[in-house]
Every structure is written in structure tokens, then in C-alpha cells.
């Protein structure tokens, strides 16, 4: 009899940790998808930073060609062409990173919706729905700003390509002189876009922190106080 009880106890000791692990796994899915979303925000911020650097190299090499021409113009023109190719590739990489961000955030919010549907208490459900709406609006705002920025970047690339074609055909002192005004226009537009890219990169980094289960820096005390109040309401339904 004692042997049977000992065997049952041994089985229980084996199964309890497994059940605890399974239970923990089920309830960690939400924050894991949130962390993945945070990761895609970071990847998008890195891609945007690379795009900004490529844009800077492109306009710098073009300005160098037009304002500081060497005796042989071909090497400077090739540098400009290579910089432009790099810019085009970087924009493509940023588009892919943001597409992944959209996909990850959709998965995250779908998981969040599932958790909300499974909630029993109205106070908890309402609070979670409010946070879900706030978070989804944050994603929508950042992604919309990205779309607006890229809708300006891509025409600028086309402008750079036209300059490349013009100078590629007329790579002469007179050709550079004739192109000076359009290069100045390109530089002015580049400056505006660089400001937008810098701001957007900062927003991507901030959004990564908002969706991460790891808090960096000083926590938002006001948000923590609101969370504490919500927990108190939930404890007294």
C-alpha cells in the first residue's frame, strides 16, 4: 500500500512541473507576440537609419561632383551612381522591415483580441480593450507616417535618377554648371526628408519600448499609477 502511495506521489511530482510549465506557456503568448512586435519596430528603426545614411551619401556625392569637380569627372560620377544604388536598396530593405512590422502587429492584436474574449470581469475587459485600442492607434500612427515619408522619398529617388541620366550623357564642365540649380533643389528636398526620417526613426525606437516586456529607463509613473488603480477596481468587481 505504501509502495502504491509512493508511486502516485512520484508521478505527481513529475506532472506538477509540467502542468505549471504548460500553464505558464499558455499565458505568455500575448507578451511574446508583443516582444516580437517590439523587435520588428527596432528592425524598422535600423532600416530607416540606414536609409537616412544612404540618402546623405547620395546628396553629398552629388554635391561633391557638381561643386568640387576633379580633372577627371568619371570617378566622382561613379561614386554618385553607387550611392544612389545603395539608397534604392536601402529603401527596399525598409519597405520589407515595415511590411514585417505590419504582419507582426496584426498577429499581436489578434492574440490580444482572443485574450479579451476569454475575460470574465467587465472592468478588466474594458481596461484591456482601452489599452488595445491605444496600442493599435500607436502602430497605425507610426506606419501611416512611414507611408507618408516614403511617398516623398521615392519621387526624390526618381529625381536623382534623372540627374544621373542627364550627367551620364553630359558629363562635362558645362553639363555640371547647367545642373547646379536642380542639384540645389534636390539638396533642399533632401534636408526636409532627412528631418522626417530622423523623427520617424525616433518614433520607431520609442514604439519598440512601448511594446516590449522589458522596461528601459525610468518607468512612466503616471501610467503605473493608472495600472495600480485598474488592478484595485478589478480586485473589487
Task: Locate the domains of the chain by residue range.
Answer: 31-235
* 171 burial via Cβ count (<10 Å: 0-12, 13-18, 19+): middle
92 against 37, higher pLDDT: 92
pLDDT at 237: 46
What separation, in Å, do the N-terminal and C-terminal C-alpha atoms of the chain show?
A: 47
Neighbours of 135 (CB within 10 A): 19
Q: Which H or E run includes 170?
A: none
φ, ψ for residue 212, nearest 5 deg: -90, 145
Overall average pLDDT of the 175-184 stretch: 96
pTM of the full structure? 0.75
For the record, the C-alpha cell of 216 comes out as 528601459
Task: Indicate the pLDDT class of residue 217, thresholds 50, 70 and 90.
Answer: low
- Per-residue pLDDT at 219 exceeds 60: no
Overall average pLDDT of the 82-105 stretch: 95
Neighbours of 178 (CB within 10 A): 13
* Residues with Cβ within 8 Å of residue 49, at least 6 apart in sequence: 201
Amino acid at each position: 500500500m505504501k509502495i502504491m502511495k509512493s508511486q502516485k506521489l512520484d508521478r505527481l511530482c513529475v506532472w506538477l512541473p509540467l502542468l505549471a510549465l504548460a500553464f505558464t506557456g499558455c499565458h505568455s503568448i500575448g507578451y511574446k507576440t508583443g516582444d516580437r512586435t517590439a523587435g520588428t519596430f527596432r528592425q524598422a528603426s535600423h532600416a530607416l537609419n540606414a536609409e537616412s545614411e544612404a540618402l546623405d551619401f547620395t546628396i553629398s556625392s552629388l554635391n561633391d561632383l557638381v561643386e568640387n569637380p576633379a580633372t577627371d569627372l568619371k570617378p566622382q560620377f561613379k561614386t554618385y551612381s553607387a550611392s544612389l544604388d545603395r539608397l534604392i536598396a536601402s529603401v527596399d530593405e525598409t519597405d520589407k522591415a515595415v511590411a514585417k512590422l505590419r504582419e507582426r502587429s496584426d498577429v499581436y492584436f489578434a492574440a490580444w483580441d482572443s485574450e479579451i474574449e476569454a475575460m470574465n470581469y467587465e472592468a478588466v475587459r474594458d481596461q484591456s480593450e482601452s489599452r488595445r485600442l491605444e496600442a493599435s492607434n500607436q502602430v497605425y500612427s507610426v506606419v501611416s507616417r512611414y507611408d507618408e515619408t516614403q511617398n516623398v522619398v521615392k519621387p526624390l529617388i526618381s529625381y536623382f535618377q534623372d540627374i544621373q541620366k542627364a550627367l551620364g550623357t553630359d558629363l562635362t564642365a558645362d553639363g555640371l554648371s547647367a545642373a547646379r540649380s536642380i542639384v540645389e533643389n534636390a539638396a533642399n528636398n533632401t534636408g526636409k526628408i532627412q528631418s522626417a526620417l530622423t523623427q520617424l526613426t525616433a518614433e520607431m525606437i520609442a514604439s519598440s519600448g512601448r511594446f516590449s516586456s522589458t522596461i528601459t529607463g525610468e518607468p512612466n509613473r503616471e501610467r503605473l499609477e493608472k495600472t495600480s488603480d485598474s488592478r484595485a477596481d478589478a480586485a473589487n468587481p
